[in-house]
Chain A
Amino acid sequence: MMSKLFFAVSSLAAVLAAAAPAHAQGTVKIGLIMSYSGQFADPAAQMDNGVKLYVKQHGDTVAGRKLEFIRKDTGGIAPPLAKRLAQELVVRDKVDILAGLVLTPNALAVGDVSAEAKKFTVIMNAATAIITTKSPYMARTSTTLPQLNQTFGTWAATKAGIRKAYTMVSDYGPGHDAEGAFHLGFKEAGGEIIGSVRMPVANPDFSAFVQRAKDINPEAIYVFIPGGTQPAALGRALAERGVDPKKVKVLGMGEMTEDEARKTMGDASLGIITVYHYDHNHQSAMNRDFVKAYNAEYNRNPNIYAVGGWDGMHLIYETLKKTNGNTDGDALIAAAKGMKWESPRGPISIDPETRDIVQTVYIRRVEKVGGQLLNVEFDKVENVKDPFKARMKK
């Protein structure tokens, strides 16, 4: 009886403390910070679609409170702007929760605000490992580069039996991270990296790099490039130079074989092996429903950004239900820690120690199924935690 009263009073106090005069009665305000315009507009569009779909399917009221969304555009990589937008969302719009975050530099900047203002922040895409260390109120529902790439390296050396690999990555932060992670996983499992090259980020034409790789004639080539225009260009270069994925193992991250990239590469993409945490071709009942609903609304297939947004919203809903509508940062992050659920991608959970995502990593190959080129999952590694932060602890 006393504890119930105490709980009621303290949560009321917390709500009043977090609320402000302009705060509409009972609304939970969520600030979405994404790169709605500019070079990275497509991932943001997909992420926003995921968010909207979840709200449509589950209604916009949680724990008796209505949800209100305020969307802010960063225009691309712009940390000072992202930080300012986050600050304005907190100070001016009095949001309770920050979410979105497509790009790492922006996420890192928002981390400062999340920590200072003590706001529960859900990272729905940005994949660099250290982001969640920026603020104790951050949780992530997408993936981390080491989670995917180190696992891939280990898998390549063990299950795939590859002994020597050549790596080509784009010369920027995520590229360096991916390279490091893959090398680590591959070498620890006994593989040998016979050469590596870093390519300029704004690189419209890959033929020179592919030629270099071909000259070395490796058993496997590992590639990391940003999504967007580059995968198709790379695929084309591979085909032109006669690098046949059926003979030389071409390994990459899932962006390489996204829908549009596969379509442009055509049959040249057959046999490319990629690592990712989600594909719309994933064979589960939940995913089939998800893909169907997504297509009905948005006329295209969902990708990792969409599922990151969808699962991010799920996390927000469930934590709010668990705290009974209390939007205090400490309460929400405590509720998030250890939360497990079934996502369209498979089973996922939030690691209570790092607040980062734990999920199944899938290995896929491009195959022709019923006349269509699809990413077919043929192997997986379950319950993968982020290895980078695990090492940090030691």
Chain B
Amino acid sequence: METAPPHLHLHAQTRWSSLEIAFWLSTLLPFALLPSYLQLANQIAVTALFALSLDLILGYAGIVSLGHAAFFGVGAYTAGILSKYLWGEPLSLLAIGALAAGVVGYATSWIIAYFRHLALIMITLGLGLLLYEAANSASWLTGGADGLQGVSIRPLFGVFPFDLYGRTAYAYSLLALFLAFLVARRVIYSPFGLALRGIRENPLRMPAIGAPSRAHIRKIYTIAAVMAGTAGALIAETTESVSLETLSFQRSADVLVILILGGAGRLYGGILGAIIYMVARDQFSGINPQYWYFWIGLLLVAVVMFLPNGILGGFAKFFPRKA
């Protein structure tokens, strides 16, 4: 395939394939076909958003983070705490939560941009763990291990309550996911996105050709933090509960597994990974509450053995596309 001039190449990438359109339309199906699964769908949407945010830094900029839940948790706690003491209007809380996560992301990006390889991974892990400990200690603010009590969210637009059935929750999260996806798409298929991929592939060369790597890394890290914070605020709002596990290593590790499972660096990897992992987990644990772990582990091993580079990566091998 001949290479088109850069801007045309990018423009070609941004066209929506019919498969993509079909996918997004199918996300509306649960409303009609699976109305009792909407709460699960909601949590999948939130996790997909979280995984998408990780993909931006891991799949595209090559930053492996074991502490990404820090931003998820900051978003969740901000929204939760404010709803307890100030007001419960969901949209504004969402924005503030995302912003708070973005601020924390920006601050930490100054440290992150300086490191690579194992040191980077462990520093992200360390920062995440420190934040977790801080939240545990500050139980007067966060509720500590019992979780934040008194989170109360008012109905969306004053009309749609976040109730037992999850219709409002799923619609809300799905819309947020879609909008974030559009943003991610825009970022990836832009010269900035190409620069990121350059940094991932060859970090030494990028400054040599005049690209400000560190500034780029800070920028994408902050954007990813805002997105992760949005996901966190969503879970706080739609489940009206926040606890320490939103900041935990477990959550950081889970989202990493989900992203790798789906295929990093392929825009849809996080979303696909979230769907497959959470549905598999739901089904397995329903069948065998005590040992479902085993089957999930087997699934992961099988995926790596037969579909290298994640599920989407494996498909790319079998069905090559212009991706």
Q: Do A and B bind each other?
A: yes
B43–A109 touching, CB < 8 Å: no
- Which residues of chain A in 88-114 are interfacial with respect to chain B, using CB atoms and an 8 Å cutoff? 88, 90-92, 104-105, 108-109, 112-113
Please, which residues of chain B bring their CB within 8 A of the CB of A88?
Answer: 36-37, 39-40
A91: nearest residue on chain B (CB-CB)? Answer: B36
A80→B43 contact, CB < 8 A? yes
In the docked arrangement, what's the CA distance between A143 and B136, Å?
24
List, sorted by A's number, 24 A–B pairs whose CB atoms are closer than 8 Å.
A37-B292, A45-B290, A71-B289, A77-B145, A77-B244, A77-B245, A79-B243, A80-B235, A81-B43, A83-B241, A84-B39, A87-B165, A88-B36, A91-B39, A91-B164, A92-B36, A105-B243, A108-B241, A109-B147, A113-B164, A172-B136, A173-B144, A173-B145, A174-B145
Q: Tell me if B14 counts as interface (CB < 8 A to partner A).
A: no
User: When A92-B36, A172-B144, A176-B144 are in contact, do A37 and B291 touch as well, CB less than 8 Å?
Assistant: yes
Cα A130 to Cα B245 with chains together (Å): 20
Q: Whose C-beta in chain A lies nearest to the C-beta of B242?
A: A79
Q: Are B137 and A171 interface neighbours, CB within 8 A?
A: yes
A108–B146 touching, CB < 8 Å: yes
User: Across the interface, do A87 and B144 meet the contact criterion of CB distance under 8 Å?
Assistant: no
Give the residue of B39, B145, B242, B285 whose beta carbon is less than 8 angstroms from that of A172: B145
Most chain B beta-carbon neighbours within 10 Å: one of A78, A200, A201 = A78
Q: Are B164 and A173 in contact (CB under 8 A)?
A: no
Q: How far is the CB of B311 from chain A (nearest CB, A)?
A: 23
What residues of B have a CB within 8 angstroms of the CB of A130 in the complex? 149
B55 vs chain A, min Cβ distance (A): 22
- Chain B nearest CB from A294 CB (Å) reads 19
Number of interface residues of B (CB under 8 A): 35
Given contacts A73-B290, A88-B37, 18 further A-B contacts (CB under 8 A): A37-B285, A37-B292, A45-B290, A71-B289, A77-B243, A78-B243, A78-B245, A79-B241, A79-B243, A80-B239, A84-B39, A88-B40, A90-B164, A92-B36, A116-B164, A172-B145, A173-B145, A200-B133
- How many cross-chain pairs have Cβ atoms below 8 Å apart between A and B? 100
A residues 117-152 in Cβ contact with B at 8 Å: 117, 128, 130
The 6 closest A-B pairs by CB, nearest first: A173-B145, A36-B289, A73-B289, A172-B145, A92-B36, A173-B146
Bound Cα distance from A291 to B147, whole angstroms? 36
A90 and B292 alpha carbons, distance in the complex (Å): 23
Complex-state Cα separation, A244 to B249, whole angstroms: 38
Which residues of chain B have C-beta atoms less than 8 A from A173's C-beta? 139, 143-146
Contacts of B240 in A (CB 8 A): 83, 112
A37 to B290 CA separation, bound complex (whole angstroms): 5
Whether A41 sits at the interface, judged by CB under 8 Å, is: yes
Main secondary structure of the interface of A (DSSP, over half): helix
Q: Please, what's the 1-or-0 string for B152-175, where 1 marks a CB less than 8 Å from any CB in chain A?
A: 000000000001111000000000
B contact residues vs A (CB 8 Å cutoff): 36-37, 39-40, 43, 133, 136-137, 139, 143-147, 149, 163-166, 235, 239-245, 250, 285-286, 289-293
Residues in A neighbouring B166, C-beta threshold 8 A: 87
Contact flag A105-B146 (CB < 8 Å), given A37-B289, A78-B245, A92-B37:
yes
Pick the contact of B136 from A72, A78, A104, A201 — CB < 8 Å?
A201
A108–B244 CA distance with the chains assembled, in angstroms: 14
The chain A residue sitting closest to B37, CB to CB, is: A92
B39 to chain A: which residues have CB within 8 Å? Answer: 84, 87-88, 91
Task: Tell me which residues across on chain B come within 8 A of A73, comparing CB atoms.
Answer: 285, 289-290, 292
Q: Which residues of A contact B291 (CB under 8 A)?
A: 37
User: Which A residues are CB-close (under 8 A) to B242?
Assistant: 79
CA distance A45 to B37 in the complex (A): 27
Taken together as a complex, chains A and B put the C-alpha atoms of A92 and B39 apart, in Å, by 10
A77: chain B residues within 8 A (beta carbon):
145, 243-245
Contact in complex: A105, B147 (CB < 8 Å):
yes
Distance between Cα atoms of A76 and B243 in the complex (Å): 12
Expressed in whole angstroms, the minimum distance between the Cβ of A255 and any Cβ of chain B is: 16
Chain B contacts of A108 at CB under 8 A? 146-147, 149, 241
Query: Are the CB atoms of A176 and B163 closer together than 8 Å?
Result: no
Q: Cα distance A75–B281 when bound, in Å?
A: 11
Partner of B245, one of A41, A79, A84, A113: A79
Q: Which residues of A contact B43 (CB under 8 A)?
A: 80-81, 84
Query: Which residues of chain B are within 8 angstroms of A41 by Cβ–Cβ distance?
Result: 290
In the assembled complex, the CB of A186 is this many whole angstroms from the nearest CB of chain B, namely 22
Mark A41-84 against chain B: 1 for CB-CB distance below 8 A, else 0.
10001000000000000000000000000011101111111011
**A116 and B292 within 8 A (CB):** no
Contacts of B147 in A (CB 8 A): 79, 105, 108-109
Which residues on A sit within 8 Å (CB–CB) of B37? 88, 92
Q: Which residues of B contact A79 (CB under 8 A)?
A: 147, 239, 241-243, 245
- Considering the chains assembled together, what is the distance between the CA atoms of A371 and B175 in angstroms? 67
> In the complex, what residues of A have CB within 8 A of residue B245's CB?
76-79
User: Given A80-B235, A112-B240, A128-B146, are A176 and B40 also a contact pair (CB < 8 Å)?
Assistant: no
Q: What is the CA–CA distance of A36 and B290 in the complex, to the nearest angstrom?
A: 5
Residues of A within 8 A of B137 (CB): 171
Q: A76 → chain B, closest Cβ, in Å?
A: 8
- Contacts A84-B39, A91-B36, A113-B164: A104 and B290 contacting too (C-beta < 8 A)? no
Return A135 CB to nearest CB of chain B, in Å. Answer: 13
Closest to A174 in B: B145
Residues of B within 8 A of A105 (CB): 145-147, 243
> Is A104 a contact partner of B146 (Cβ separation < 8 A)?
yes
Instruction: For residue B176, give the distance in angstroms from its CB to the closest CB of chain A.
Output: 16
Give the docked Cα–Cα distance between A105 and B144 (Å). 10
Contact with B along A188-201 (1 / 0, CB 8 A): 00000000000011
